[in-house]
Structure 1
Amino acid sequence: MGKKEISKKGMELEMIGWWILGLAVLAIAIFAFIYFKNECTSAIDFVKNLFMIRR
């Protein structure tokens, strides 16, 4: 009696939201990688410089 039932439609809508969010993040990551690769800057060097501790 105390349990709330989740409708399948509500679960599907929530799952679609997570799929769209995941695909958007993946697309941004791929776009950023291609952009930095075309700029003759290695993506690995970019990440290294991003986290480098400067004194």
Structure 2
Amino acid sequence: MTLFQVKQRSTGVLLWVGPADSEGHALDVMAREAGFRDAAHLPVHVRYGGFRTARVVS
């Protein structure tokens, strides 16, 4: 697995860093670790503006 980081696009706030299979999977893993079923079930105010997901370069 690769390490990814997820930032909120509108604010630039780093929301999560962790292992995932892909960028799309990283969003779902982040949401599950926050207690939601998947990224689609995150609150609207968190999803507002979208996300920027990128691999973490070591």
**Normalised TM-score (structure 1):** 0.30
Larger RCO (CA under 8 A, 6+ residues apart): 2
Q: Which has the larger radius of gyration?
A: 1
**Normalised TM-score (structure 2):** 0.29
